[in-house]
Structure 1
Amino acid sequence: MKDITKKYTNGEVTIVWKPTICIHSTLCWNNNTGLPEVFNPKVRPWIKPENAITEKIVEHVKKCPSGALSFYYNDEEQKPVETTTENIVETLPNGPLMVYGNLVVKDSDGNKTHKNKVTAFCRCGASNNKPYCDGSHVKIGFKG
């Protein structure tokens, strides 16, 4: 799957979205947990950062469990976010295996990819972006 990165800005902060690692948790746009005035998957573009203040946007982007959403302030030099804590592995009910921390993922050809913050690995076997979760577990009704 092609590695796509999209950016959306309100002038102060830029939201970075990497759809290939999105697990479609709905935390960003759900009325109970999200910021639907900014994140709305039913319209294009689906991210409209001009609809909220920067602090609210940052608060909600930080909740993204897969790391598909990230941000940077436009007046600061872009630096990759790295965690300094121990690695934590969490199995989400009926969903992916979440790994928190700095990782190096090595594929079957020996290619290495550096991951930091949060990485969601597929448990259902239906992802089109293996070994990473792409939210296919929802479509197939995965239980586990």
Structure 2
Amino acid sequence: MDEEIHRYTGEGIEVSYDVRRCIHARECVRGLPDVFDTDQRPWVNPHNADADDIAEVIERCPTGALHYERADDGPEEAVPDENTVTVISDGPHYVRGDSVIETPDDEQLLADTRIALCRCGASDNKPLCDNSHLEIEFEAPGTVEDNSAETGATGGGGRLSVVPTPDGPLHVSGPFEMSGEDDGSVFRGTDVWLCRCGHSEDKPFCDGTHGRIGFSTEGE
């Protein structure tokens, strides 16, 4: 995973922006257009709003491309009480929570509260989404097998581990709730294998298709 981070300092807050993680969800632009204006250079001007308002909007960023550090007495971003995964129609998985991406050998690659994971198989910044799903016209419903009737309303707090397996799926372990963007379907679990080659017939779960099509994560 590559980084390209730019920093913008305002009154009581410093905004950081990782170009490589941005997929133009535009939550920031819609939330505070006076601060986040893609027609201006620099495109982030934290002098144009209160630090609390900037922090609140940044926390809407689903990919973690935007973060902040407070230089005043304001609170830093809190870790969510529950881990959630949202299956985006024709797009990535949005992860929120106490999440960490790590190798099969337990080496930590990224710890964050907000992450967008590629599920089309075409990202050049695997396992993170880089918007390649648009270029390849990836199609997959934002739905999940609903098991909420069996699991009840149990939450998902604690560390969520995401392990991108070589040439294979994402192994997600730890308590979480996964929901489908299209229909609000809910799956609750603690150990699943999510497709990231883009070709499983059981999306968002892996069905072994990556092996048959020769899916490669070389260079990840």
TM-score band w.r.t. shorter chain: 0.7 to 0.9
Q: Identity rate of aligned residues, in percent?
A: 36
TM-score, structure 1 normalization: 0.80
Separation of aligned partners in 2, 1:2 and 1:118: 16
5+ unaligned residues in a row in structure 2: which ranges? Answer: 141-220
Equivalences for residues 10-89 of structure 1 within 5 A: 10-29=10-29, 33-75=30-72, 81=77, 83=79, 85-89=81-85
Match of 1:8 in 2: 8
Secondary structure, aligned partner of 2:27: coil
Is residue 122 from structure 1 mapped to residue 118 from structure 2 by the alignment? yes
Would you say how many aligned residue pairs link Structure 1 and Structure 2? 140
Question: Which range moved further: 15-24 or 99-108?
Answer: 99-108
The answer to whether the Cα contact below 8 Å between 2:21 and 2:63 also exists between their aligned partners in 1 is: yes
- Per-residue CA deviation, residues 89-127 of structure 1 (Å, 9 max, x unaligned), is 210112111222223323478642242211110012221
- Per-residue CA deviation, residues 7-52 of structure 1 (Å, 9 max, x unaligned), is 11112111111222222211111xxx32222112233211111222
5+ unaligned residues in a row in structure 1: which ranges? Answer: none
Match of 2:173 in 1: none
Is residue 106 from structure 1 mapped to residue 95 from structure 2 by the alignment? no
TM-score, structure 2 normalization: 0.55
Match of 2:131 among 126, 129, 135: 135
Secondary structure, aligned partner of 1:59: helix
Change (3 A) 1:53 1:19: same
**Structure number with higher strand proportion:** 2
Which of the pair has the greater relative contact order for Cα pairs under 8 Å at 6+ separation?
1
Please report the RMSD computed on the Cα atoms of aligned residues, expressed in angstroms.
2.5
- Per-residue CA deviation, residues 50-77 of structure 1 (Å, 9 max, x unaligned), is 2223232122112111121111211359
Separation of aligned partners in 2, 1:110 and 1:58: 31
**If you compute each CA radius of gyration, which structure gives the higher value, 1 or 2?**
2
